[in-house]
C-alpha cells in the first residue's frame, strides 16, 4: 500500500500525526492479539474437555444400549435455550445460561422403571451437546477476531509505520534540498549584485 503524500509542510504534518497515532495504537493492538490468542487456546481446551466428557458419558451407558430400543424418544424435547452475551477481549461471545426441556407425560406404571434415569441421561447428553455448539461458536468468533487483529498488527508494523517513516523522510529531504537550493541561488544573486556594483564603481 503506497502512502499518498505531497512535498509540503501540510502533508508532512498530516503524515507525522498518522504515524504517531499508529505508534501509540500498536501496543494496545498487540495486547489485544495476545489476549485473543490465550482465549482461543482456552476455547480449544474447553471443546476438547466437552468432547471427552460426552464420549465418557456415552461409553458409560453403552451397556444399556439394548434398552434404548424400547425408549420413546418423543418424551424429551429441548423447549428453549437461554443465552447471554459477554465480551471477551473486545469480542461479543454468546454464553449458555440455561437449557429448558419439556418432558411429555408418560405412565410410570406402564413404562420401564429405568425411564426416569434414561430421561436424566438424555438431558445430560443434550446439555453437553449444546455446550459444545456454544464452545465451537465461541472458538469461531475468537479465531476470526484474532486473525483480524494479527492482520492489523502486521499492517501497522510491516506496511504503514515504515511507509509513513519513509514518506516523512522523503518530504524532509526534499524540503532541505529546496531550502539549500534557495540559499544557493540567493548567494549567487548576491554575488552577481556585488560584482555589478564593483563594475559600476570602477
| 3-state DSSP of 165-192 | HHHHHHHHHHHHHHHHHHHHHHHHHHHH
Among 59-63, 86-90, 161-165, 188-192, the range with the most confident prediction by mean pLDDT is: 161-165
As a whole-number percent, the residues of the chain with pLDDT over 70 amount to 96
Chain centroid, CA 40 distance in Å:
10
Across 141-153, average pLDDT? 95
Residue 153 burial (CB < 10 Å; 0-12/13-18/19+)? middle
pLDDT over 90 for what percent of the chain? 43
> Quick check: 150 pLDDT over 80?
yes
Domains and CATH numbers, the chain: 9-193 (1.10.287.3240)
Which of 42, 22, 57 has its CA nearest to residue 89? 42
- How many angstroms separate the CA atoms of 7 and 174, rounded? 7
pLDDT at residue 182, rounded to an integer: 84
pLDDT over 80 at 109, yes or no: no
pLDDT digits (tens, 9 = 90+) for 32-73: 999 999 999 999 999 999 888 888 877 877 766 666 667 777
Q: Which among 6-15, 22-31, 56-65, 173-182 has the top mean pLDDT? A: 22-31
What spatial distance separates the first Cα and last Cα of the chain, rounded to whole Å? 63
Q: What is the rounded distance in angstroms from the CA atom of residue 168 to the CA atom of residue 172? A: 6
How much is the average pLDDT of 176-202?
84
Entry pTM: 0.73
Q: The C-alpha cell of 79 is what? A: 423447549
User: Are the CB atoms for 43 and 138 separated by under 8 Å?
Assistant: yes
Tell me: pLDDT of 163 over 70: yes
112 near 104, Cβ under 8 Å? Answer: no
Query: Phi, psi (5° rounding) for residue 173?
Result: -65, -45
At 141, is the secondary structure helix, strand, or coil? helix
Which set of grid coordinates corresponds to residue 173? 529531504
What's the pLDDT at 104? 86
Amino acid at each position: 500500500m503506497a502512502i499518498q503524500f505531497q512535498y509540503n509542510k501540510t502533508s508532512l504534518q498530516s503524515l507525522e500525526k498518522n504515524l504517531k497515532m499508529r505508534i501509540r495504537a500498536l501496543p494496545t493492538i498487540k495486547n489485544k492479539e495476545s489476549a485473543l490468542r490465550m482465549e482461543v487456546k482456552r476455547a480449544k481446551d474447553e471443546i476438547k474437555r466437552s468432547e471427552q466428557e460426552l464420549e465418557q458419558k456415552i461409553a458409560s451407558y453403552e451397556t444399556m444400549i439394548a434398552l434404548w430400543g424400547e425408549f420413546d424418544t418423543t418424551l424429551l424435547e429441548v423447549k428453549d435455550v437461554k443465552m447471554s452475551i459477554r465480551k471477551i477481549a473486545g469480542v461479543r461471545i454468546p454464553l449458555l445460561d440455561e437449557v429448558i426441556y419439556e418432558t411429555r407425560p408418560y405412565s410410570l406404571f406402564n413404562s420401564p422403571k429405568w425411564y426416569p434415569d434414561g430421561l436424566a441421561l438424555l438431558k445430560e447428553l443434550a446439555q453437553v451437546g449444546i455446550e459444545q455448539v456454544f464452545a465451537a461458536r465461541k472458538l469461531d468468533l475468537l479465531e476470526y477476531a484474532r486473525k483480524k487483529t494479527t492482520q492489523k498488527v502486521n499492517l501497522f508494523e510491516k506496511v504503514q509505520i515504515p511507509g509513513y517513516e519513509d514518506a516523512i523522510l522523503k518530504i524532509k529531504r526534499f524540503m532541505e534540498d529546496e531550502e539549500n537550493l534557495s540559499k544557493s541561488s540567493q548567494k549567487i544573486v548576491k554575488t552577481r549584485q556585488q560584482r555589478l556594483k564593483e563594475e559600476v564603481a570602477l
